[in-house]
Structure 1
Amino acid sequence: MSAQGDSRADAELSARLVSGDPDALAEMFRRWGTLVHTIARRALEDAQDAEDVTQQVFLSAWRSRHTLVPGRGSPAAWLVAITKHRIADLRAERHRARRNADAVAAGSTYPQVDDAAQRIFLLHELERLGDPRAAVLRMAIVEDRPYAEISERLGIPLGTVKSHVRRGLLELRRRLKEESSDGAP
């Protein structure tokens, strides 16, 4: 097929996607799923993260199909742009989770004990928070999962996940301060 034929086929595929044809999304996945996965794999250096990002890219493509303009640019370039945004989102979520966990640890005057004892105490305090907050924090901090994945897995809005993390970390910080002021190990 010529370059002109390729661009015409791409424009037709784009138009089908914009009109809501799920087969168009499936075709895009067949054609460019490997490209998206490869970019994610190289950027994130983790196979599971790359698979998650690939799924998120095609879900985002479906949800934001109205932003694709048939005939202007290639669908592959559009998917690559979405991929770069999802990778950046994942990195930012992880950075925030680590920063929040570090803030909780730094905010306490908890004496240094071996890591196993600290982990046991932290897990105990997480459980005391109750679900869904405990589940959200466990997935975000202990399992290092992205907020979007937590939202999807637990079936709760992304903003709610972020609120649970923030409020849960504040509560954990408060409890750690109480424990250290009581003279507990």
Structure 2
Amino acid sequence: MEAADREWNVAIDHAFAAGEERALAEAYRRLGPLIHTLALRALREHGAADDVTQEVFIRAWKSRTSYRPEASRLPAWLIGITRNAISDALSARSRRRDVERAALRLVNDPQPGADRPNADALADRFTLEDELERLGHPQTAIMRLAFFEDLTHDQISSRLNLPLGTVKSHIRRSLARLRSRLEVEHGSS
């Protein structure tokens, strides 16, 4: 039975790489609970763990052409994506908390001071966060890694399991889209 089960898993690995939707459904059925548990342990919020679980399978399906069954088993590949998605969720949570704290300091500190956040800079940060969210996945993750974590294109490619050319294309198109949106919304200088 074990050999037959192993062969079936290898078949699912190859079917997933080939884009067969039944393989995605089977991977979700078998590995979704594990991925959710990993996310829940790291994030300690059911909603956030649900979001990460969904994000992992979306990322995996969108980047399935980069998956190589001969190099790695599907569970290992998905767990790698899970680690990245958890890291992204923790980073986003941290950024939101930083922005919220800065906004509270701005509202609650009636005394002008050297460490008081600049209202314009805070408004710009909120605007940028909103615009990045509108880009969708994987562009949002790519742009955050590039700008907020200062990662190189190669590092982003490795972290998100995306081809380098795809990362570069997404950055170029996302920058053009952000520029266009911000110019329209806030007027050209």
TM-score range for the pair, normalised by the shorter chain length: 0.5 to 0.7
Give the distance between the partners of 2:15 and 2:105, measured in 1 at CA.
Answer: 53
The code of the aligned residue for 1:21 comes to: E
CA contact (8 A) 1:61 1:82 kept: yes
Tell me the equivalent position of 2:67.
Answer: 68
Query: Could you say what secondary structure the match of 2:81 adopts?
Result: helix
Tell me the equivalent position of 1:24.
Answer: 23
Give the distance between the partners of 1:105 and 1:92, measured in 2 at CA.
Answer: 20
The code of the aligned residue for 2:73 comes to: S
Deviations 1:82-139 (A, max 9, x none): 1111000011112222233444555789417xxxxxxxxx9xxx8xx9xxx5x949xx
Give identity over the alignment, percent: 32
Tell whether 2:20 aligns with 1:14: no
Give the distance between the partners of 2:5 and 2:80, measured in 1 at CA.
Answer: 20
User: Relative CO higher for 1 or 2, CA cutoff 8 Å, sep ≥ 6?
Assistant: 1
TM-score, reference length from structure 2: 0.57
Larger displacement relative to structure 2 (69-78 or 84-93): 69-78
Aligned Cα RMSD in Å? 3.9
The code of the aligned residue for 1:9 comes to: W
Give the distance between the partners of 2:26 and 2:102, measured in 1 at CA.
Answer: 45
Structure 2 alignment gaps of length 5 or more: 112-118, 144-173
Query: Could you say what secondary structure the match of 1:38 adopts?
Result: helix
Runs of 4+ in 1 over 6 A off after TM superposition: none
CA contact (8 A) 1:12 1:70 kept: no
Larger displacement relative to structure 2 (9-18 or 41-50): 9-18
CA contact (8 A) 1:7 1:71 kept: no
The number of aligned residues is 136
The 1:72–1:98 alpha-carbon spacing in structure 2 relative to 1, beyond 3 Å, is same
Query: Could you say what secondary structure the match of 1:30 adopts?
Result: helix
Tell me the equivalent position of 1:77.
Answer: 76
The code of the aligned residue for 1:89 comes to: D
Larger displacement relative to structure 2 (10-19 or 78-87): 10-19
Tell me the equivalent position of 1:54.
Answer: 53
Measure how far apart 1:40 and its partner are.
0.6
Give the distance between the partners of 1:70 and 1:8, measured in 2 at CA.
Answer: 13
The 1:11–1:93 alpha-carbon spacing in structure 2 relative to 1, beyond 3 Å, is same
Structure 1 alignment gaps of length 5 or more: 113-121, 138-146, 172-185
